[in-house]
Homo-oligomer: A and B are copies of this chain.
Amino acid sequence: MTTQQLIEQINIKKSFLCVGLDVDLNKIPQHFLALEDPIFEFNKAIIDATHDLAVAYKPNTAFFEAYGIKGWRSLQKTINYINENYPDVFTIADAKRGDIGNTSSMYAKAFFEDLNFDSITVAPYMGKDSVEPFLAFENKHTIMLALTSNEGAFDFQTLDTDGKELYKRVLETSKTWKNSENLMYVVGATKAEYFTEIRKIVPDSFLLVPGVGAQGGSLSEVCKYGMNANVGLLINSSRGIIYASKDVDFADKAREEALKIQQEMAAILESK
């Protein structure tokens, strides 16, 4: 999917919601456990119930890998289901990958070709040659960690590096990399005031924003400081939507939660 097509979908759906698929078998309705592939069946139900309200889905690879081969099969079925039934949806492999060049090329092949995701999250620590192999794929997007929403974000990301915080230097440096137009960035919602500074460095880039809802961030604050002319935001919610209920009504409740966020987003887009 191109960035332009993503922007069109945001305008059509009046939504920039991304639903995170972090499926923990202990937290889903227990009748799923009798099925052959509980994770896929749960994801399918969530996607069917929310696809007109969300522009993106973000399966978190850890929650699949924890179940080995079976989990990897659930991941493949989930992405295939989205691509076949809802091709207008933007897909994100939340994988936080990053390694030396020839290894990153293999990860890119795994997620962009074998699984056919539109995008993948990557970690910046190993620098340019660990990220550029992902950027080489046309119409695929590489979402690099900049400032995350967890407590540990303050261990290294905000360290002062010659008068500038590390995450700002990560943003700046990445703009010099080949095919950097294929970059997006992860910026946590728990720090809305940081968005003003971030937008000075990457005014046009899409930002994937976790931390709204369960992790405490405010949607209106993030939009106030982080939105650009093309919206430029994908706001992720995982647990708040997919675990809205553990009962048989879980899909309806997930839709209700997604609808609340989508309506708030529609109002924000309207007021722009």
Chain A residues close to B by CB (< 8 Å): 22, 24, 60, 62-63, 65-69, 71-73, 76, 94, 96-104, 106-107, 109-111, 114-115, 123-131, 145, 148-157, 159-162, 166, 169-170, 173
Q: Which of A154, A157, A166 gathers most chain B CB within 10 Å? A: A166
State in angstroms the CA–CA spacing of A24 and B109 once bound together: 12
Identify the 8 closest CB pairs spanning chains A and B, nearest first: A127-B152, A127-B155, A62-B106, A65-B110, A128-B152, A129-B152, A159-B161, A66-B106
A166-B161, A166-B166 known; A66-B150 Cβ under 8 A: no
Q: Flag if B149 contacts A100 (CB, 8 Å).
A: yes
Q: Flag if A124 contacts B156 (CB, 8 Å).
A: yes
The smallest beta-carbon distance between A214 and chain B, in angstroms, is 10
Q: Which chain B residues lie closer than 8 Å to A151 at the CB level?
A: 127-129
Question: A66 touches which one: B98, B109, B157 (CB < 8 A)?
Answer: B109
Q: Flag if A170 contacts B156 (CB, 8 Å).
A: yes
State in angstroms the CA–CA spacing of A114 and B71 once bound together: 11
Q: Which chain B residues lie closer than 8 Å to A99 at the CB level?
A: 60, 62, 94, 96
Question: A129 touches which one: B97, B109, B125, B150 (CB < 8 A)?
Answer: B150
Stoichiometry, copies per complex: 2
Of the A-B pairs whose beta carbons lie under 8 Å apart in the complex, a sample of 28, sorted by A's number, is A62-B97, A62-B99, A62-B104, A65-B106, A65-B111, A66-B106, A66-B114, A67-B110, A68-B72, A69-B73, A96-B123, A100-B149, A123-B125, A124-B125, A125-B125, A125-B145, A125-B148, A126-B150, A126-B153, A126-B157, A127-B153, A127-B155, A127-B157, A129-B151, A129-B152, A130-B150, A156-B170, A159-B162
Q: Flag if B65 contacts A107 (CB, 8 Å).
A: yes
Look across to chain B and name the residue whose beta carbon is closest to the beta carbon of A210. B100
State in angstroms the CA–CA spacing of A11 and B106 once bound together: 35
A125-B125, A154-B127 known; A98-B100 Cβ under 8 A: no
Q: Flag if B125 contacts A157 (CB, 8 Å).
A: yes
Q: Which chain B residues lie closer than 8 Å to A110 at the CB level?
A: 62, 65-68, 71
Look across to chain B and name the residue whose beta carbon is closest to the beta carbon of A215. B100
Question: A156 touches which one: B103, B106, B114, B169 (CB < 8 A)?
Answer: B169
Question: A166 touches which one: B71, B96, B148, B159 (CB < 8 A)?
Answer: B159
State in angstroms the CA–CA spacing of A23 and B22 once bound together: 30
Q: Which chain B residues lie closer than 8 Å to A159 at the CB level?
A: 161-162, 166, 169
A126-B145, A160-B161 known; A103-B63 Cβ under 8 A: yes
